[in-house]
Amino acid sequence: MKSSEWLKNIFSIAYYLMIIGWIILFGFLLYAIFISPGDILEILRDAEEFKIKSKNALYTSLAYELSSSGVWIYILYLFKNLMKDLIFRPLFTSLQIASFKLIGQLIILITIVDALSIFVFKTIFQGRLELSFELFDFWFVIAIGLFLIFLSQIFDQARIIKEENELTV
């Protein structure tokens, strides 16, 4: 199997796993709202980033996680389609250029928003002022986003060269 097909399959698997995760998280939110917030609070009491102690913190963090993971699902969806397009269609199309750019911008945006949201949640729910940009979690993902934007610019240049080549008689 070619590496590109492996990559496409990995994106597809990640995409469907993320959807399943999103549905489970949505189920948690519905369970917390309509049945028993105490059970969900117990499960998430020792969350990684900050401790969830109140119902408000639980609802807010679950709602935020749903929106955030929704954006990541959309990014994976774009990646999945982009890989399909790169494998089966001609290279350097406008769709591929736009997809690379959009994915890069979304990755940068959601990473910054994620870091800020943890800061806000800690400030509001724990009364702690703490802003951390860890190497892998923040800068590495930002670098990937920037690289994808750079890749879209390279594809744009390649599209111009390809067009010139095709229009050389």
Shortest distance in whole angstroms from residue 164 CB to another protein = 4
Distance CA 167, CA 164 (A): 5
Pick between residue 1 and residue 167 the one whose CB is nearest to another protein. 167
Query: How many angstroms separate the CA atoms of 91 and 162, rounded?
Result: 9
- Residue 3 or 168 with smaller CB distance to another protein: 168
Tokens for 15, please give them.
């995409």
* 107 in Cβ contact with 75 (< 8 Å): yes
CB 73 within 8 A of CB 19: yes
Nearer to another protein, 3 or 165 (CB): 165
* Maximum separation of any 2 CA atoms in the chain, in Å: 73
Task: Please state the closest distance from residue 159 (CB atom) to another protein, in A.
Answer: 13
Q: Min. distance of Cβ 169 from another protein in angstroms?
A: 5
Least distance CB 94 / another protein (angstroms): 18
The Cα–Cα gap between 94 and 73 comes to 22
Token pair of 61 as six digits: 């963090």
Which C-beta is closer to another protein: that of 135 or that of 169? 169
- Comparing CB distances to another protein, the nearer of 116 and 160 is 160
User: Rounded CA gap, 104 and 138, in Å?
Assistant: 14
Name which of 11, 156, 148, 155 is nearest 72 in CA terms: 11
Q: Which residues make up the interface to another protein (CB under 8 A)?
A: 163-164, 167-169
Find the shortest distance in angstroms from Cβ 144 to another protein. 35
